[in-house]
Amino acid sequence: MSPTDPLLTATGLRKSFGDTEVLKSIDLRIDAGRVVALVGPSGSGKTTVLRCLNGLETPDGGTVAFRGGPSVEFGGKVSKKEALSLRDRSAMVFQGYNLFPHMTVLENIIEGPVRVQKRPRKDAVADAERLLGRVGLAGKRDDYPFNLSGGQQQRVGIVRALALQPDLLLFDEPTSALDPELVGEVLTVIKELAEEQWTMVIVTHELAFAREVADEVVFMDGGVVVEHGHPDQVLRDPREERTRRFVQRLLHPF
Amino acid sequence: MDWELLRTSFWPMLSGGLTGTIPLSIASFAIGLALALVVALMRISGQPVLSGIARFYVSVIRGTPLLVQLFVIFYGLPSIGLTIDPWPSAIIAFSLNVAGYAAEILRAAILSVPKGQWEAGHTIGMSRALTLRRVILPQAARVSVPPLSNTFISLVKDTSLASLILVTELFREAQQIAAFSQQFMLLYLEAAAIYWVFCLVLSSGQSALEKRLGRYVAH
């Protein structure tokens, strides 16, 4: 593999929950330093795609390959260890933050670096403090999550993911659980990360944000990728009728 | 009121409590709790055989009287060639009993922690065991303190049953002095008062523990 290969290639991802086929052969390629926005109606499978990339779900078939490994082919006999190896390259930011409520902000952030990656505590703390400062939360280091607003909690969630130094950041509707007035502070942080060339996949309903930040928009519906391309094209001048209807619905809800 | 008898009987009873009731309770609770965690994890493991065994165990323990369990171990086992001294018999019986009840408490507490906590552990690279230890159990501990305190307080009182298998503890001291002095009312009320004080201390310990474990939730 050469350095110009995509950071991540997913091919033919399939996943069913019971009788419901949620993903019907999804292909995705994500180049290093690029931001991909996954959009689509609820139930379209976009969150499931994200979860498959992080090993939170095991696809029924298909391949997920990172440049430089691991590369996992699902469907046959996949060892648990193999499937779990995927998460070493990526980190997830959840819709509901999922911070550890019994740990302080700092403890939340250094838990992975110290306990899993076995980095020296001192380094992990220094890193965490630097990252907290960057998202404007330097003073919150010793607070418990319940003392923070939703926007602050989500910024901690982002820092917790960054602290793992992953190659790929995955955002699962990072602002959907927030009060409207708190959405901006989280989107600003994500935008800054984009400017710093972090590679990101963002599942979002914020089309204006996707158009501004994403290098590529992937529109999914019914478990397939309906169309993908430059944000201006997909969101302003969709080729497919389904995309057009979705964009219209979000722009003019009533 | 026979104040002299009250005074002279107090020390043997208290000492029976301090050297019998309390160590018996603490040892049985500690072992029982460890066992309960194993049973609870078996129960939620998703493995039919393991969870079946756990379910059966809980059913047997909860479905039979503690006194009968105690007698089976102390008086029953010798007939199949297994003789166990009073103290170990009592600890075994009480631990197994606590495990049956506490397993259900821990199972419910573990399941009460939101699934997103497991997922957050996963995404930062933790194994399931590490997530359980660092993320899930500390949160489960908080919600299980009140029901586990109930179990512990019940246990402290239930250890009086050990007097029936010759363990020297608070109530056996009371029985012996009562038999000797024939002052049943006085001595059994005195024993009851000492149990009550023990349990009051435990209740305040429970409050302190709840406060400490609850420091990270909104009040």
Q: CB-CB: which of B120, B122, B130 is closest to A100? A: B120
Question: What residues are paired with A36 via a beta bridge?
Answer: A201, A216
Q: What ipTM does the predicted assembly reach?
A: 0.93
Contacts of residues A42-46 at CB distance under 8 Å and 24 or more positions apart, as own/partner, are A44/A220, A44/A221, A44/A222, A44/A223, A45/A15, A45/A220, A45/A222, A45/A223, A46/A203, A46/A220
**In Å, how far is B143's CA from the nearest CA of chain A?**
12
User: What confidence category does residue A221 fall into, taking pLDDT thresholds of 50, 70 and 90?
Assistant: very high
**In Å, how far is A100's CA from the nearest CA of chain B?**
7
Q: What confidence tens digit (pLDDT) does each residue in A65-99 have?
A: 999 888 899 987 777 788 788 899 999 999 999 99
Scanning A33-72 for CB atoms below 8 A from B yields 54-56
**In Å, how far is B127's CA from the nearest CA of chain A?**
9
Residue of A183, A213, A220 lying closest to A198 (CA atoms) = A213
Q: CB-CB: which of A88, A117, A144 is closest to B216? A: A144
A100 touches chain B (CB under 8 A): yes
**Chain-centroid distance, C-alpha A78:** 24
**Which residue is it, tokens 């990526």?**
A90
Above 90 in pLDDT, residue A49?
yes
Above 80 in pLDDT, residue A205?
yes
pLDDT at A254: 83
Cβ of B125 and A145 within 8 Å?
no
Query: Minimal Cα distance from B218: which residue of A?
Result: A146
Cβ of B124 and A160 within 8 Å?
yes
- In the DSSP assignment, the letter for residue A237 is S
Above 60 in pLDDT, residue A1?
no
Domains in chain B: boundaries:
3-213
Q: Which CATH superfamily is domain B3-213 in?
A: MetI-like (1.10.3720.10)
pLDDT at A78: 78
Query: Minimal Cα distance from B121: which residue of A?
Result: A112
Tell me the chain B residues in contact with residue A91 when contact means C-beta distances shorter than 8 Å.
123-124
**Chain-centroid distance, C-alpha A109:** 17
Asked if A170 and A93 touch (Cβ cutoff 8 Å), the reply is yes
**In Å, how far is B178's CA from the nearest CA of chain A?**
51
Domains in chain A: boundaries:
99-165
Cβ of B217 and A101 within 8 Å?
yes
User: What confidence category does residue A244 fall into, taking pLDDT thresholds of 50, 70 and 90?
Assistant: very high
**In Å, how far is B119's CA from the nearest CA of chain A?**
7
- Average pLDDT of the segment spanning A198-203: 96
Asked if A150 and A158 touch (Cβ cutoff 8 Å), the reply is no
Cβ of B216 and A101 within 8 Å?
yes
**What are the DSSP E strand ranges found in A131-203?**
168-172, 200-203
Tell me the chain B residues in contact with residue A87 when contact means C-beta distances shorter than 8 Å.
122-123, 125
Q: Which residues of chain B have pLDDT under 50?
A: none
Strands A216-221 and A224-229: antiparallel
pLDDT at A3: 62
